[in-house]
Each structure stands twice: as C-alpha cells, then as structure tokens.
Amino acid sequence: MMEKIPTQTGTRDQLLSDLKTVIQDAEAWLRNGGHLTGDELKAAKAKFEQTLAGAKESLGEYQQTVVEKTKEAAKVTDEYVHENPWKSVGLGAAVGVVIGLLIARR
C-alpha cells in the first residue's frame, strides 16, 4: 500500500537561508574588500568562510534527505507496480497517449 512520504521543509528553508547569507556576505566583501586592511580583512574572511561552510553542510544534509526520500519513493512505486501490474500498464499507456497528443499538437 502506498504511504505518503513526509517532506522536511525545514532543511530546504535552512539551505536557502544559508545560500542567501553566503551571497550577501560575498557581495559585502566585494564592495568593501578594497577598504579593509589587516584584522578587518581577516575577520571578514573568517566570517565568509564560516558562512560558506554552514551552507555546504546544509547542502549536504539536504542532498542526503533528497536521496533518502527518492529511494523510499522508488521502493513504494516498485511495490505498487508489483501489486497492481495491470493498473500500472494502463496508467503507463494513458500517460504515453497524453504525451503523444501533446507532442503532436506542436
């Protein structure tokens, strides 16, 4: 039986937030980088590297979540096809006909 696969929007939202922060930090660094010297430059570089590392970590976590959910969806689909082969064949044929009609309209 097919079960609904839960999604984790928190991971996606965190990743998007981290990427926006990386972009904002990079833009600020490019704008003000010529004026920074010594300790200020080191601090700005450290902050940017920390933000970039956080974004990379979030991306890795999101990738892992997507892979797990994709494997779970493939397993559920495989089970459904094995339990309902004729429904699956009919559904595949119907989708093929619809796609064929859409392509023929062009």
Q: Which of 63, 74, 55, 51 is nearest to 8 (CA)?
A: 63
* 5-30 pLDDT, tens digit each: 455 566 677 777 777 887 887 777 77
* 54-73 pLDDT, tens digit each: 878 878 888 888 889 899 99
Question: The tokens of 20 are what?
Answer: 């926006």
Rounded to a whole number of angstroms, the distance between the first and last alpha carbons of the chain is 38
The torsion angles phi and psi of 3, rounded to 5 degrees, stand at -110, 150
Q: If you average pLDDT over every residue of the chain, what do you get?
A: 80
